[in-house]
Structure 1
């Protein structure tokens, strides 16, 4: 048993007191642009391409870090859509690449002189061909820290959840979000978005007691 957990139990203190648990919140539009503009201003092309692709692709970190140039490029240019096989579900998922994301990827591929079969985000550590999920997590936490957001309130999964949440809020189309996330069951999408709680709170806010 963890020492701190044992002490907490001994004194009747909840183990999760002061900790954030459950699903991490998605980014707000203002936070997305705060990170994006900062990366653009400082010319951090790899990070900008990684951030934009993470938002657009809605992929889990384990799938994102293993993408190769050939997964997003066709005919020497970044395509507007791509399909990859998910490690967790072994099911293909398709995602769109917006104009800004395509531009940042094109610039990063050119600057890094990446070839067709190369990993999109090579590791700077010699024993790994691409950045690891741990490295990815450190990079993401750095982004949050730099814009003054508490890194403990978010995670790499925040980036996966951001666009689906925005799409659901605008359209209320659960089936579309399910397909974009690559979920096999609609119930998984409902739990993932936490929409039952969110919708209940929204109704409560609109009701004067």
Structure 2
């Protein structure tokens, strides 16, 4: 039976690359993001294995509704990838913008929490897997980085969730990339990681046998 994954932040970057990679690996994929136009373009590329699910990751009910639609379409949800996230416009604490922090915390922290909360009723019956995008910035201290602090939360949360899911045979994995060449940055970073590099790590974890719990994959640019 073909398995199904739900991906937040699926319209670009790591999310879009992962959607393409997991579809090639034989999975059905639910594409969740705010931009219907970008999602539809991606779905057209993937084909019948993809379902467009427009919504805002900071809205719990919108995530719940999207997951229900995905289950109705393909019969089950076997994995959920909480990938949606963003940075902040001002670096550091003193020069940072508190109003901007609110939006970042809502997406990076609360959005991931909402994804996990909405996912558990779907994953528990199938002993499924929860995956979440962390960061090198959530493993190393970076001067004044409020963004990095949100990723420290993700790393701690993923470890705690893994313990909870283990009680019913579920698995939880955090992928921790260094700098990735995506629209997250104002200028291209062609010498850094590519979204496809992270996507391959996600596919590896998703296709690992049930006996293997891949808890973290940490990927740094060679240079």
Q: Shared fold (TM-score greater than 0.5)?
A: no
Question: Over alpha carbons, which structure has the higher Rg?
Answer: 1
- With the length of structure 1 as denominator, give the TM-score of the two structures: 0.25
* Structure in which a larger fraction of residues adopt strand: 2
